Amino acid sequence: MFNTDTPSGTTTTGHRADAHVSRTLVHKAADREVLLSAAQPLADDRFAVWVRWPHDHLLHGRGADGARDSLIVVETMRQAGIYLSHRFHDVPMDHAFVLHSFEFQLSAPIRDLGNGADVVLDITMQREPGRPDRFRLTSDADILVGGRSVGRAAMRWDALAPRQYAVVRHRCAGVASLADFTAPPVEASPPAPAAVGRDRSDAVLIADCPEQSGGWRLLLDTGHPALFDHESDHVPGMVIVEAFRQAVLVEAAKDTPEGWGIRAMHTTFASFGELDQPVTVSAEPLGEGTFLATARQGERALATARVVGGSTSPLAALTAGAGAAAC
């Protein structure tokens, strides 16, 4: 899916990293969760999107080597897709965004100035042909830090009118609201934050799953200020992606105790996760720093991801092998 042409004419100047786009245009409730500073068209279907990354964040922090956690690319691309859909593709504000797939691969660690002021996404975004009342969109981005490409990312999603979303959402099961939600009990303790690359216990999303050998139980805290910034009728896609990251890090540590990080991830979403039913997460080693992560609810697969990682020393160029979860 990646466009291999080298972008030209993209600059990291001309915006303020202390400013941000409207939180409503990225479907966020809190200004602190907005990761975009500004955007402007470069050509037909091509845009420059400047970021506004926090110095420190519950989920989007830095490793011991000073490099950004690579999953900040996922949330930034997600917000960019929503923002560009509303601003430049005439998607109404009442539409729900349903993510089908996401992939990224890094050729170098992301080391920005501290607030993302030197980072820009050069994004090509297109609406797939089809029914005029349905928005199916794709994006393909070059990630530039100080004008130098450090990787690529791509995404595919639908933007659905409320009536369309209701049909898709209720296809498999009833919907529990956050007001009615009670988290399934977890009998086992979660790993220490350091084991999953975090420094706070409320950022740990997995716990031992006695009923599934080698698997983890997903911990759902619907009051979490980052993962549940706004009300959701399902398990958010970013919660699943972060759980994948944590499960893979624990598995990778069995062979590489220190200095291992994610370089690439290709995630496909297959189904909505219900808030009132337990979700299990697994990470199966495939060899050569590659893992297959899966999230299930009973026998139903919610999402799968092929995750590639390695030493967090400067990364060599990579190739990696990236459905539905609403954003």
Structural tokens at position 280: 């299990």
Query: In this model, does residue 249 exceed pLDDT 50?
Result: yes
pLDDT (tens digit per residue) in 278-299 = 999 999 999 889 999 999 998 8
pLDDT value of residue 231: 79
Query: In this model, does residue 159 exceed pLDDT 60?
Result: yes
pLDDT value of residue 9: 52
Query: In this model, does residue 327 exceed pLDDT 70?
Result: no
CA atoms lying within 13 Å on the CB side of residue 276: 11
Contact 137/127 with Cβ under 8 angstroms?
yes
Go through the domains of the chain in sequence order and give each one's CATH number. 23-326 (3.10.129.10)
To the nearest 10°, the Cα dihedral for 153, 236, 96, 304? Answer: 50
The DSSP bridge partners found for residue 217 are 207, 280
pLDDT value of residue 129: 85
pLDDT value of residue 315: 45
Query: In this model, does residue 4 exceed pLDDT 60?
Result: no
To the nearest 10°, the Cα dihedral for 234, 195, 115, 121? Answer: -60
Most confident of 29-43, 187-201, 226-240: 29-43
Q: What is the pLDDT of the chain when averaged over all its residues?
A: 84
Mean pLDDT of the 223-237 span: 83
pLDDT value of residue 198: 84
Query: In this model, does residue 29 exceed pLDDT 80?
Result: yes
Query: In this model, does residue 3 exceed pLDDT 50?
Result: yes
Largest CA distance in the chain: 55
Q: pTM for the whole thing?
A: 0.86
| pLDDT above 90 as % of the chain | 53
pLDDT (tens digit per residue) in 304-315 = 999 999 876 544
Query: In this model, does residue 242 exceed pLDDT 50?
Result: yes
pLDDT (tens digit per residue) in 82-112 = 999 999 999 999 999 999 999 999 999 899 8
Residue bearing the bigger pLDDT, 141 or 180 = 141
